[in-house]
A and B are shown apart, each in its own frame.
Chain A
């Protein structure tokens, strides 16, 4: 069978000593930054990017990917133990995970999160192995019009599924699109919104903006809140899940994995969305919803499975279509370009060892995480209980180095500072910056594809509807918008997100 041969090739690639070492380094670093609030995978990957120049392509991608899904792990460890989600995707885990820890079941909660993540990671690996070749096949037939419509779908989905006010999400998307216009127009060569600043000719550096909005913004908010960080960790108590617990978490893990795998593929979906959705779904389906928020084990298992599955399936659009669904994937594309590899459907055929090696390495990395993290829990907690006045300057320093290294431009460091303030203000008015980030990343690509489609059709805009793929995707967009517009469904959505 083809799939087995492919996975075999991947296993051989992932198991070379060099790749194993870098996979380990990746997941270890990922866990560390997942634990630390304010320092996310974007900053870390940006910082390490120059180090990957000298590595073989598959090794560099294996390490960078490890940072990303490792961060999901680290984020949940602190969410459970000290009620501090290191990553947005583990916010939900604090709800029941921390309660479990307070009930003396910290060990069980951590084990549940680890097992859930591992099972999800394993299944997601298989899902990618099954569907990616199919998608790559489809992607070969994608025309510019189809790419454009797909990105419209991604943006609409991110509005529909965004957490919080619809109006805010829409506003954020529009701002992101406008920011995406900055720079030299690819079709005419005209410089737009550059104010004669040469640093703006190639557009705004999204790494600087992402780190400003998410990293610096969070630091400012944390400083304002004067968080009590005097965390004393009671010994991690509690046993592994019992037979009874296994019964309770078995289906939630599978459902979480399913939701995560699907939402992760959507541009703009990914791990964050998946964990929220999985939690909401479990609460609805549970026979004892009253336990949720008070230490329900399902409330840990499902979102943890979902965010891990989502983190992995987010690689599918990047690897098969060359479309980044979040800032991390945009950086991964950058890492591939540096190595002279063009992301897109040809990666699988031209670089099978890289493609399958990366996918299997995610499974290997998950194995590392489960084996390593239980003994290291004490270490992670020490890391997070470091006084914030020591921690935040370090994080700021890392962010500044990370931004600077992307293109050796001090301009980008100022840009990050500016967007740090913007991120803080957005937080204040309750607007989520994630849709803006996605619009910034997809915006310029969308414009490029639309104009290319129109150039190829000699200006005939019906090409968006005459191409069957594009037309199909646009129909889905319309359905999504209609769903949100319907009052009944809207109420349901508000309730779900009222957690």
Chain B
């Protein structure tokens, strides 16, 4: 792949940019960035959380700077193909990557990625934390986390937990839960969150860690036991957090943000960071994020760096301990 490969979207974007009148507010007149089209890479198919983030941020960037933002999808390899592409792109701030913490902390341990997630990608923006709720099929005789643990211990080999796939965050959740509580559950991987939720709705699996539609809980099709982390999910105010339910310091959280290739000038990183931190406070963005269970927040560059390093260490440790096998790593 060469640097000057012209994709269809680049081409359309380039063609369109000739029509967009440059409107450069004062703040950007100084640094001169951005003065051209920005490509926002999404490592998954359209329609998911990363897509929503790229589109929301992209719209705001266009509104603020007048520059066209082209969202480009490069699905495959658990986001590894997109990560690889961005890590080798020109470090000028014109290619952004919508990332979740799996890019830094899970995919590199499991996939055959060619980039070093900590060295080759620089996090610049934070979108939000995603709420995941641990829930069970209504047939499981447990109304609280405590009861589930007791039930699991009394009936070894009965419980199955669904994950969004081998090495997904939900898989890690299940393994982490097993390690912390000592109960036995069989991991059943599915292709994505929708399949996984479906299996628990049918009772094929009993335990689920996905962010399902809150409607399943209100209709009684799933029984929420705990929302992972310190705070409750506003959509399910009656379900306690794991901290409240007796499992403090739940380590596995899923969060989303924006990254650029390493070596991007620090002033551009800083500028992007400030832009994202402003955007997540806009009511329109908050509302859009809420549809996917994203709780927006602001993080400085240093905080982002700290957070991903922490996840990298904790998740890596967990993956090794749980014996989650990877493909052959070269």
A residues engaging B (CB < 8 A)? 53, 140, 143-144, 184-191, 194, 196, 198-199, 201-202, 337-340, 342, 344, 346, 401, 404-405, 407-410, 448, 452, 455-456, 458
Contacts and interface: CB of A to CB of B under 8 A. Distances in A.
Contacts of A456: 160, 186, 188, 204
Contacts of A186: 165-166, 189, 191
22 contacts: A143-B204, A186-B165, A190-B327, A191-B327, A196-B330, A199-B81, A201-B112, A201-B327, A202-B75, A337-B194, A338-B46, A340-B47, A344-B198, A404-B8, A405-B8, A407-B74, A407-B76, A408-B7, A408-B73, A409-B74, A448-B191, A456-B160
Contacts of A337: 45, 47, 194
B325 interface: yes
A199 B195 contact: no
Contacts, number: 101
| CB-based closest 5 A-B pairs | A191-B327, A201-B77, A342-B194, A189-B166, A202-B76
A408 B74 contact: yes
B202 A140 contact: yes
Contact of A191 (B81, B189, B194, B328): B328
A128 B298 CA distance: 51
A338 B73 CA distance: 12
B153 interface: no
Given A344-B198, A458-B186, 14 more contacts: A189-B167, A189-B327, A190-B325, A194-B112, A198-B114, A202-B75, A202-B76, A338-B46, A338-B47, A342-B194, A346-B198, A407-B75, A408-B9, A456-B160
Interface of B: 5, 7-9, 45-47, 72-78, 80-81, 84, 110-114, 157, 160, 165-167, 186-189, 191, 194-195, 198, 202, 204, 324-328, 330
Contacts of B46: 53, 338
Nearest to B167: A189
A337 to B, nearest CB: 7
B137 to A, nearest CB: 13
A339 B46 CA distance: 8
Given A184-B327, A190-B328, A342-B195, A455 B72 contact: no
A455 B204 contact: no
Nearest to B85: A198
Contacts of A194: 112, 327
B186 A408 contact: no
A342 B199 CA distance: 12
Chain B CB within 10 Å, residue with most, of A198, A199, A410, A455: A198
